[in-house]
Amino acid sequence: MKLLAVRRLFRILRVVIRYRLDDLLLALPLPVWLRVLRFALPWRWLPRRTLNLSRGAALRLALQDLGPIFIKFGQLLSTRRDLLPPDIADELAFLQDQVPPFPAEQSVALIEEQLGASVGEVFARFEVEPLASASVAQVHAAQLKSGEEVVVKVIRPGLRPIIRSDLAWLFVLARIAEKASADARRLRPVDVVSDYEKTIYDELDLLREAANSSQLRRNFDGSPLLYVPQVYWDWCRPKVLVMERIYGIPVTDLDVLADQRTNMKLLAERGVEIFFTQVFRDSFFHADMHPGNIFVSTRTPWSPQYIAVDCGIVGSLTPEDQDYLARNLLAFFKRDYRKVAQLHIDSGWVPAETRVNDFEAAIRTVCEPIFEKPLKDISFGQLLLRLFQTARRFNMEVQPQLVLLQKTLLNIEGLGRQLYPDLDLWSTAQPYLERWMRERISPKSLLSNLQSQVEQVPHLANMTRDLLERMSQPHAEDPPAPWRKRNDHLAVRLVGAALLVGAATLGLTQHIEAWPSWLMLAGGLYLVLRR
């Protein structure tokens, strides 16, 4: 492991020297001692190889030379437009998924090791030449003995030691950058590498991807909007995934889509609807929706259906984040900047001591010029990006779930405008958001929340009984302050639960005026849900 780490270090240094990536760091406002130290770097005294590359292009080519793990890191880094300068982010966005495949015999050997059987025993047909090869896995076409056409995804062999080594050096570089420059600290490189570490290790577990695919398929079962291939669980392992083979048109193949007379306007609008359905209805969204993972079915071009693959990265939001995000977006397009500022403070996304007036003025300064454009020309994703950038000036902490959401929204919006340039994303999204907000306070939703709270009553009663028994013990010491606070909170919730039960009883069994039950319901919900 140590030898591998040292070898990787020399490989990294060789690429850094070749593309003069040290110029990226030295261009920052550095302390004096570091500016002096730059002259001690031996390669800076050597003749410079003229590459005539921009800083973004140099970084992109360096990541390509360093191999699949750095390529994947560059792809993820390109989505952090809230942290990177635009010229670097634009260059990193050119990084492609395709990398040279690894040898077929290694792929077959790993599949057989994982499945505990030869490919001939499991598959009626197995194509040795891969269909596609990406940074962490490659895919082979096959047919099961039962006749189903499938694809077999297999993780590249020997990746974990390389990943551990590469991550170790990425963390070293990130920490050096944070210590060397205030600008680098603002970009939070250590947090970026930490996010990447979690993502890359998650993608190495194909059982996680299979579970995500199954959940997404279940969420859109029977939907005309989105189709997710079936997972064949009997043949899934941590390093092997077998799922239904799909036949669709790559979403970026506009000529073929046009030839089959696809309704492009509806296709673009359905992409937006799929995104908001995943985020707000399901709180479970595909967070790697780049064009390579999206296809269009050939069955009904007049009512086009998307096909999604590669569910290794998914995101979710808490009910609180869902609510604050929807209210933020609605307030934004009404230009109610004060409400936007207050929602950020209420949600805890910015510190509670933030001055609302100052935050409101900053948001107005950034966003007002955007609204001078026609509504259809306003980039929804860029607007959200501007909001987060402004909030960061007021010490907004990086919210990982919102970063994934922003990345996905930028991908969806960019794709939608490519399919149908006149796409008015807001006119598509606004009705959905308003309908979702209404449904949250509908009687059906309130009744569902009431039922879930009533179901907790026996548990709360048992906890209260145990608490009273402990308090009645002779010579019992006074409970510590945190325990007393918890007891007070428990008592309040118990009273609230009792009011909810009373409201349900009055509403369902008594022939009296409705207002007492509604009053008890309101009081009970307040006491149970209050923090």
Q: What is the DSSP letter of 261?
A: T
Specify the pLDDT at position 513: 46
Domain boundaries, the chain: 250-440, 443-529
Specify the pLDDT at position 54: 82
Between residues 431 and 95, the one the model is more confident about: 431
- Taking the C-alpha atoms of residue 139 and residue 241, their distance in angstroms, rounded to an integer, is 9
Query: How far is residue 49 CA from its own chain's centroid?
Result: 40
- Taking the C-alpha atoms of residue 64 and residue 70, their distance in angstroms, rounded to an integer, is 7
- Taking the C-alpha atoms of residue 409 and residue 379, their distance in angstroms, rounded to an integer, is 10
Mean pLDDT for 107-119 is: 94
The encoded tokens of residue 467 equal: 């608490």
Mean pLDDT for 85-113 is: 80
- Taking the C-alpha atoms of residue 314 and residue 108, their distance in angstroms, rounded to an integer, is 29
Q: Are strands 226-227 and 306-308 parallel, antiparallel or unpaired?
A: parallel
- Taking the C-alpha atoms of residue 468 and residue 154, their distance in angstroms, rounded to an integer, is 57
Helix or strand run (H / E) with residue 376 = none
Catalytic (active site) residue 97: no
Q: How confident is the model at residue 218 (pLDDT cuts 50, 70, 90)?
A: very high
Tens of pLDDT along 46-91? Answer: 555 556 778 888 888 888 788 767 777 777 666 656 556 778 877 8
Q: How confident is the model at residue 143 (pLDDT cuts 50, 70, 90)?
A: very high
Specify the pLDDT at position 501: 58
- SS3 of residue 488 by DSSP: helix
Question: Which position has the token pair 């308003």?
Answer: 434
Least confident span in 129-133, 488-492, 524-528: 488-492
Q: What is the mean pLDDT of the chain?
A: 77
Highest mean pLDDT among 25-39, 373-387, 401-415: 401-415
DSSP string, 421-447: TT--HHHHHHHHHHHHHHHHTSHHHHH
Burial degree of 507 (CB within 10 A; 0-12, 13-18, 19+): middle
Tens of pLDDT along 491-525? Answer: 555 556 665 555 555 454 444 445 555 565 666 66
Specify the pLDDT at position 512: 42
Query: How far is residue 415 CA from its own chain's centroid?
Result: 17
Specify the pLDDT at position 101: 83
Tens of pLDDT along 392-409? Answer: 677 766 666 676 777 777
| Whether pTM exceeds 0.85 | no
Specify the pLDDT at position 306: 95
Between residues 298 and 39, the one the model is more confident about: 298
Kindly name the residue from 82, 166, 195, 288 that is annotated as catalytic.
288
Q: How confident is the model at residue 168 (pLDDT cuts 50, 70, 90)?
A: confident
Specify the pLDDT at position 252: 79
Tens of pLDDT along 410-443? Answer: 777 777 777 888 777 777 787 888 888 887 766 6
